[in-house]
Amino acid sequence: MMKPPLRYSLWLAVGLALTACSDRQTSAPVGAPAGAALATIALAPAQAAQELRFDGVIEAERQATIAAQTAGRIVALPFDVGDPVRQGDVLVRLTATEQHAQAGSAAAALAEAEARASESALQYERIRDLFERKLVAKAQYDRAKADADAARARVEAARGQLTQAREQADYTAVRAPYDGIVVRREVELGEAVGVGRPLITVLAPNALRVAADIPQQAIAALRSATTVRVILADGSAPTAGALRIPPSANETTRSYRVLAALPGQTLAPGTLVKFAFAAGEREQLAVPQSALVRRAELDAVYVVDAQQRVGLRYVRVGEAGADGRVPVYAGLAAGERVAADPIAAAAAYQQQLAPEHGS
């Protein structure tokens, strides 16, 4: 017969104890009133914000995968994954022989077009002078004018081709668009690449945001929430900045992809977090998170009864709210007193057990 998991067994035992114990006090032997000197918190139901939590992930607001804008063979890769880069740094360098040759050819074509345009302009000036003196026909004047206009147009076309050729030459040096960190490299030294081939990915680590998929049932509460918390792995919960809520839900998941700015953080993109916000209030018991004791996989508090005896009580709790208080779902009742300092309570509990052990 297969044994049930340890966590299930522990919770089953705690559940039976919470149901069966009529005095709600566990393991409190008779002894000196050790709890008399302890600071305690009297439990009373109060209105508390009901917080909704959803999984989120840290993203960089600026992340770019830079692709090749010209063809060539990679001759330099100065940076690798994890390296910091500055705006304008050359991330990838390609061979530029063909591009420079095209730029030189375009420059020569422009020089020729400018010379032809200058010649056509002089010819037009001579024909115009003769036409004004009635020495040439109107058709000859029109032809000279058309030749001059066409020559100027050829100059502009050649100038555009030169600009394009120079840009193609510039594209052989792929530069960082902003200060950031290299997070992915798609190519290797010596590899031939074509136009559109992804080369390297850079992100800006100083501009982060949280992305979370919020169900349509909770989106109204999010729109009216005054504060949104981002709960990190270390337990800290910074307040999120401006929210970006799409106007419509995803047709497949029926959820909204919400983005929230996260200023002042240095987390790694891809880190999992919790996206939390209040959704109404309800009456409940709560204790400070600092009063909780962790035993194995269970939570407990030290309870001080009317005779100042200290007992360890297992409880079922929820997640800590924005005020640092933890809702208690089972194990405690209104009117009971909980030790505010579990370390001092543990010492008092051991002191209380001493007479029994001595006997």
Higher-confidence residue: 211 or 266? Answer: 211
Name the residue with tokens 């050829």. Answer: 154
Q: Give the sheet arrangement for strand 173-175, strand by strand.
A: 173-175, 90-94, 72-76, 192-193
In the predicted model, what is the mean pLDDT of the chain? 80
d(CA 300, CA 346) in angstroms, rounded, equals 12
Report the amino acid identity of residue 63.
Answer: Q
Q: What is the pLDDT of residue 8?
A: 40
Q: Write down the pLDDT at residue 213.
A: 92
In terms of average pLDDT, the best of 78-87, 221-230, 297-306, 327-336 is 78-87
Percentage of residues in the chain with pLDDT exceeding 90? 21
The pLDDT assigned to 304 comes to: 80
Please report the pLDDT score of residue 79 as a whole number.
93
Q: Are 288 and 325 in contact (CB under 8 A)?
A: yes
Cβ count within 10 A of residue 76: 13
**For 114-167, what is each residue's pLDDT tens digit?**
898 898 899 888 888 888 888 888 888 889 889 889 989 998 998 898 888 788
pLDDT, average across residues 38-43: 77
SS (H, E, C) 72-116: EEEEECCCCCCCEECCCCEEEEECCHHHHHHHHHHHHHHHHHHHH
CA distance 13 to 22: 16
Question: Tokens in use for 264?
Answer: 């002042």
Residue of 71 and 331 predicted with greater confidence: 71
Lowest mean pLDDT among 14-18, 234-238, 348-352: 14-18
Distance between CA 285 and CA 328 in Å, rounded? 6
251: which 2 tokens?
Answer: 């047709």
Domains in the chain, CATH or no CATH each:
6-48+280-358 (2.40.420.20), 55-62+204-278 (2.40.30.170), 64-94+173-202 (2.40.50.100)
- pLDDT category at 49 given cuts 50, 70, 90 is low
Q: What pLDDT was estimated at residue 34?
A: 62
Look up residue 307 and give its two tokens.
């005779």
Helix ranges restricted to H, 171-269: 219-224
d(C-alpha 44, C-alpha 334), whole Å: 5
Contact 182, 78 (CB under 8 A): no
Which residues touch 294 (CB under 8 Å, ≥6 apart)? 300
